[in-house]
């Protein structure tokens, strides 16, 4: 697939999802960026804003397999990966695949499961495979985990460990709709939900071709240095206990390629880095306890670094 075709297919998919997720074009674009970059996304927001619908409508727009896993405290790792069952007729063990064996897997309320069950996702998210009873099973391609969690309700939850957070390419927030958009939502759902009539916008083969095509997007040496400088700055910031890992640099590199291709460019510009920095890097930072007491957040740190760092071809804010 040519890079010029990526924009056409991306616009069709985004517009199709927009029939269900009203007024959230930037969020839909971010989710598609994660999908094209072959990464996983953590959708963190309050209940009822459309996190589950975002995953369902994206899967229907692409025509790929979709599975939903509701994480609860009593969920077992085998409920995610699958289990081997003894067949009395053949006198052999047969593997019964779990819901993880799909192209798009929605993990609802991921922080409600125990750490043991959460860890069942680690191998699949990083290596695109699962191991059950010593046997490795390859996951279908493409494969993306869209996990949701409620950021305001912590009773009965198990916070995600840093190792698992780092495996999410992006953290996305939907937010409440505007007054006009919420009225539009009421009108659209008067008789039935738009998801019931949502068709397919692109094929699975076209998506795979798009994932390969974005690798051709050019990053100038100055842009690469800008990305690495930004990530390095998170490690040296006085209010950050633990900065972003090299996986953060790679994630920002790949997502910038995807965003540029979606915008119809075969090259990355500094605005791509700025637009994606918070979504890709903020969840990888651990703020020091003293800074958290003062109300400092990871997003605030990333925004501060973006203001202070010299943009390729420009000057830092406040420079004379």
Looking up residue 227, the CATH number of its domain turns out to be: 1.10.8.80
CATH number at residue 126: 3.40.50.300
User: pLDDT band at 63, cuts 50/70/90?
Assistant: confident
Reported as a single tens digit per residue, the pLDDT across 167-210 is 899 999 888 888 998 899 888 888 888 888 888 899 888 999 99
Structure tokens at 204: 């699975």
Residue finishing a domain among 181, 198, 216: 216
User: Residue 104's beta-bridge partner residues?
Assistant: 66, 144
The answer to whether the beta carbons of residues 16 and 148 sit under 8 Å apart is no
Describe the chain by its helix, strand, coil percentages, rounded to 5.
Answer: 50, 15, 35
Q: How many CB atoms lie within 10 A of CB 248?
A: 24
| Percentage of residues of the chain with pLDDT beyond 70 | 96
Please tell me the pTM assigned to this model: 0.86
The count of domains in the chain is 2
Peptide bond into 12 cis (omega under 30): no
Does residue 320 form part of some domain?
A: no
Q: Residue 301: give the domain boundaries.
A: 217-313
Reported as a single tens digit per residue, the pLDDT across 252-309 is 999 999 999 999 999 999 999 999 999 999 999 988 888 889 888 889 999 999 998 8
Residue for token pair 């460990």 = 161
Q: Are residues 192 and 273 in the same domain?
A: no
Residue finishing a domain among 159, 184, 216: 216
Structure tokens at 106: 């929605």
């Amino acid at each position: 697939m040519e890079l010029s075709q990526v924009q056409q297919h991306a616009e069709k998919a985004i517009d199709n999802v927009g029939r269900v997720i009203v007024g959230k074009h930037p969020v839909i674009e971010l989710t598609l960026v994660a999908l094209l970059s072959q990464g996983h996304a953590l959708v963190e927001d309050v209940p009822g804003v459309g996190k589950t619908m975002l995953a369902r409508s994206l899967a229907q727009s692409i025509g790929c397999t979709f599975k939903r896993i509701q994480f609860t405290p009593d969920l077992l790792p085998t409920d995610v990966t699958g289990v081997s069952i003894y067949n009395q007729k053949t006198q052999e063990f047969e593997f019964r695949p779990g819901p993880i064996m799909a192209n798009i897997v929605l993990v609802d309320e991921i922080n409600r499961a125990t750490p043991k069950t959460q860890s069942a996702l680690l191998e699949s998210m990083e290596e695109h495979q699962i191991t059950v009873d010593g046997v490795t099973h390859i996951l279908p391609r493409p494969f993306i985990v869209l996990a949701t969690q409620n950021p305001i309700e912590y009773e009965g939850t198990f916070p995600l460990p840093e190792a698992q957070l780092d495996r999410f390419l992006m953290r996305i927030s939907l937010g409440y709709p505007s007054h006009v958009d919420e009225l539009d939502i009421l009108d659209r759902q008067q008789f039935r939900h738009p998801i019931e009539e949502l068709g397919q916008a692109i094929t699975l083969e076209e998506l795979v071709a798009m994932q390969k095509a974005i690798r051709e997007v050019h990053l100038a040496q100055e842009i690469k240095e800008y990305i690495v400088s930004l990530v390095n700055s998170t490690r040296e910031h006085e209010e950050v206990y633990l900065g972003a890992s090299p996986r953060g640099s790679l994630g920002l590199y790949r997502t910038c390629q995807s965003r540029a291709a979606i915008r119809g460019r075969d090259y990355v510009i500094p605005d791509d880095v700025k637009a994606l920095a918070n979504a890709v890097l903020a969840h990888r930072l651990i703020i020091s306890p003293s800074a958290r007491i003062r109300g400092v957040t990871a997003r605030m740190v990333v925004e501060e670094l973006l203001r202070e760092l010299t943009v390729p071809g420009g000057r830092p804010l406040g420079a004379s």
